[in-house]
Amino acid sequence: MTRPVRADINLQALRYNLSVARDKAAGSQVMAVVKADAYGHGLVPVAQALDEADAFAVVSLEEAVQLRDAGIRQDILLLEGVFSGQELSDSIDYDLQLVVHCEEQLRWLEALPGDRRRVVWVKVDTGMHRLGFEPQLAREVWQRIKRLSAAGRGGELRWMSHFCCADDPAHPATDEQLARFIDLTGADGAPRSMANSAALLTRADANFDWVRPGIMLYGASPMLPGTTGADVELRAVMSLRSRLIAVHRRRKGDMLGYGQSWKCPQDMPVGVVAIGYGDGYPRHAPSGTPVLVNGTQVPLAGRVSMDMICVDLRNAPQARVGDDVVLWGSGLSAEAVAEHAGTISYELFCGVTPRVPRIYTITD
């Protein structure tokens, strides 16, 4: 490791956050959402640390195979199902559960020869209007898959849906979606799943048999901007860290970086940190975005470059080359940085690039 950039991943915090999900959804099984390389935290180490999860959810066969190859034995669900008929039989070889959300997937299932059983989650569009069958169609879909089971080719059937606005507790869509889901699925006693992190934390009535937390496991708040993970008892898992690689005394009126977008208002110290959009630090983070230098909050100054940023060190005049910098994580919430950058913590985490080594620790 030459450049001082790294993402420390605290596996103890991850496990703690899973225990929060378990406590909040007592009585439900927990399917940990580890797609997108576990939201940038590292798929296999995260799944191995979450050995107490009841199942995992991913979005591609490749992710699922990585988990199986690493010895993960829990159930694994392909959240978007398969993308071709060919993938179906591979998914069964790897003992994966499938979402079926559209007619094409249903036909692939019907065309698959053999009698290997599988768990199929019928996805219902209760209001997100992204994936899933409309509630009026969903019963017919259910019956078609049930007929396959009767012919020895189907598997266990389950219901699922996804919330569009659970991050806003005042939003009426959540009640509407819930009512549609209960209306459709209430009678048959089949396992059901609907809750993402936001619903899990705020809507006990949406937990059903399986909850599907993602972002809360990584310690960030799933709620609207303004709350952090710590506000909802979660612990940050990823700390994106680097160091100061230069400290300069600039003169009043000096302009910093590309586009000369920031002007020094006085003679002042300016630090250069080894982090940039090549590492996944958001290029659109504006001047003023908080950065921690030796535990002191200082503002980003000027444009984010590929490998560097400048910081205004007037609050930290003793700062020296080699000093620790936290971009988000320990002492500085990803949510606060995301809010400045006009994005969400999910995108910050997923955006950390492969050149940033993930360093796993099991400390508190």
Ligand X SMILES: Cc1ncc(COP(=O)(O)O)c(C=O)c1O
Does the protein bind ligand X through residue 126 (CB under 6 A)? no
In this structure, the number of other CB atoms found within 10 A of the CB of residue 5 comes to 26
Q: Which of 24, 35, 123, 218 is catalytic?
A: 35
Nearer CB in complex with ligand X: 80/95: 80
Does the protein bind ligand X through residue 229 (CB under 6 A)? no
- Environment class of residue 349 by beta-carbon count within 10 Å: exposed (0-12), middle (13-18) or buried (19+)? buried
* Residue with smallest beta-carbon separation from ligand X: 214
Of 15-23, 114-122, 212-220, 328-336, which part binds ligand X (CB under 6 A)? Answer: 212-220
Out of 212, 243, 250, 358, which residue is the one contacting ligand X (CB under 6 A)? 212
**Interface with ligand X in residues 137-166 (CB under 6 A):** 162
Encoding tokens for residue 113? 């020869």
The answer to whether residue 346 is catalytic is no
Nearer CB in complex with ligand X: 131/268: 131
Does the protein bind ligand X through residue 222 (CB under 6 A)? yes
**Binding track, positions 73-112, relative to ligand X; x by CB under 6 A:** ------x---------------------------------
Q: Give the closest residue to 195 by CA, choosing from 362, 338, 361, 29.
A: 29
In this structure, the number of other CB atoms found within 10 A of the CB of residue 70 comes to 12
Does the protein bind ligand X through residue 290 (CB under 6 A)? no
DSSP 230: G
Out of 174, 196, 221, 330, which residue is the one contacting ligand X (CB under 6 A)? 196
Distances (CA, A) of 258 to 26, 243, 261, 308, 316: 52, 21, 7, 11, 24
Does the protein bind ligand X through residue 28 (CB under 6 A)? no
Distances (CA, A) of 54 to 99, 121, 172, 354: 17, 16, 31, 28
Does the protein bind ligand X through residue 213 (CB under 6 A)? yes
Contact 222, 201 (CB under 8 A): yes
The answer to whether residue 146 is catalytic is no
Encoding tokens for residue 73? 């034995």
Nearer CB in complex with ligand X: 158/162: 162
Q: Which of 16, 39, 218, 258 is catalytic?
A: 258
Helix (H), strand (E) at residue 150: helix 135-150
Does the protein bind ligand X through residue 197 (CB under 6 A)? yes
Count how many residues are written for the chain: 364
CA distance 168 to 170: 5
Nearer CB in complex with ligand X: 79/313: 79
Number of residues that bind ligand X (CB under 6 A): 12
Does the protein bind ligand X through residue 207 (CB under 6 A)? no
Q: CA angle at residue 61 from 55 to 65, to 5 degrees?
A: 70
Active site residues: 35, 258
List interacting residues with ligand X (CB under 6 A): 33, 79, 162, 196-198, 212-216, 222
